[in-house]
Amino acid sequence: MSLPTHTPVWRIKNSPEDSVVLDSSDEATFALTEEPVPSLEDGEMLVENVFISNDPAQRGWIQKGVLPERLYTAPVREGDIMATHSIARVLALKDSTDQRFKVNDFVYCMTAGWRRYAVIKTDPSACLPVMVPQNVSPTAALGLFGVPGFTAYYGLHDVLKFKEGQSLIVSAAAGAVGNVVVQYAKKVLKAKKVIAIVGSEEKCQWIKGLGADVALNYKSPTFAQDLVNATSDFVDAYFDSVSGVILDQVIPRIKQYGRIAACGAISGYNKDVGKPTMGATWIEVVTNRLTIQGFVILDFMFPKDGSNRVATEAFPSIAGALERGEITLDGTEDIVEVPFVDVPKVWGRLFTGANTGKLVTKLA
């Protein structure tokens, strides 16, 4: 087969300030172009994106005016190719001395972005070999054995310092991080009680099937009281990916000296979806001596001391739990097969609650 000479590419057309605009209007956030594929230089390879990761954090990367010094990764500006992690197939390599990759391998890409075909460096800052246990789909490298799974692991272990017998609230529990938090806390760390907050009755059933002791639908009119009822003994920890009014409501349900892992703030990413808060419960952060710690998984995946904690800790721990059946991948990958033109639309599902588990786009 001859190699592709052109590729469709999604670039940022208008940096979003409030909501993303996923249509083809003048205000659209993304614009589709057709671009030539450059020829390969030494140390590069040509890849074809097969599975595209969809992550709420991407919303932060493209925020209008975001300052590079306030972001843990390079902002994606107007005119830039939309950034994403992806699993791609190697189509060609040029005179590379790098023996890690060969044609037809799946490779984990940080820089292929929203392109069908991309020329990328074989450098570890651009791509890595896919690392999943035997007989596990490479898509798991985007979820359970990727950023979401390791976020769950280090958020529980290092940020929340979560211990056997403790209790936990998890928001966005049906998401890519949340479902691993629920499973890992309940089955591996032997949590006394895991309370999952999700956005529908269907997700309540789903997350209970994964081990949540209680599942609460935050869209239910009785949510506030349901949360109080479910936490009559209060909880030790809160794994928060949404912030906003749900954070307000959870704060009074955390034990004295309890901990909150601030992992995300999806309720405010597209500002029209956030509800205003008066911060009326914030005083309980003071009176009950809560600690809130924001964290970025890169600090744990790539520690400054150069150690590889994922390889020595998180990966074997999660792989062992998977092998013992304490954690399941079944039903936790939401793989949507679409033509390349629909990549932004699938990504947009992250913000409408449409996905369950890890949302992956499979390019048709």
Alpha-carbon distance values, 54 to 136, 326, 346 (Å): 20, 25, 8
The reply on whether position 181 binds a second copy by CB under 8 A is no
The reply on whether position 271 binds a second copy by CB under 8 A is yes
Size of the site for a second copy (CB under 8 A): 40
Closest separation in Å from C-beta 218 to a second copy: 15
The reply on whether position 353 binds a second copy by CB under 8 A is no
The reply on whether position 247 binds a second copy by CB under 8 A is yes
Q: Which of 152, 172, 290, 314 binds a second copy (CB under 8 A)?
A: 290
Closest separation in Å from C-beta 241 to a second copy: 9
The reply on whether position 270 binds a second copy by CB under 8 A is no
* Stretch near a second copy under the rule CB under 8 A, chosen from 24-32, 43-51, 208-216, 241-249: 241-249
**CB nearer a second copy, residue 85 or residue 259:** 259
Q: Which residues contact 208 (CB under 8 A, 6 or more apart)?
A: 196, 215
296-325: contacts with a second copy (CB under 8 A): 296, 299
Look up residue 280 and give its two tokens.
């009326």
Gyration radius (Cα) of the chain, Å: 21
The reply on whether position 289 binds a second copy by CB under 8 A is yes
The reply on whether position 148 binds a second copy by CB under 8 A is no
Closest separation in Å from C-beta 217 to a second copy: 21
Give phi and psi for 192, each to the nearest 5. Answer: -70, -40
Report DSSP letters for 185-224, one per residue. Answer: IIIIS--SEEEEEESSHHHHHHHHHTT-SEEEETTSTTHH
CA distance 38 to 129: 23
Residue 1 burial (CB < 10 Å; 0-12/13-18/19+)?
exposed
35-94: contacts with a second copy (CB under 8 A): 60, 69-72
**CB nearer a second copy, residue 219 or residue 271:** 271
Is the separation of the CB atoms in 113 and 35 below 8 Å? Answer: no
Closest separation in Å from C-beta 150 to a second copy: 15
CA distance 71 to 147: 17
Binding site for a second copy (CB under 8 A): 60, 69-72, 234, 243-244, 247, 252, 262-265, 267-269, 271, 274, 276-280, 282-296, 299
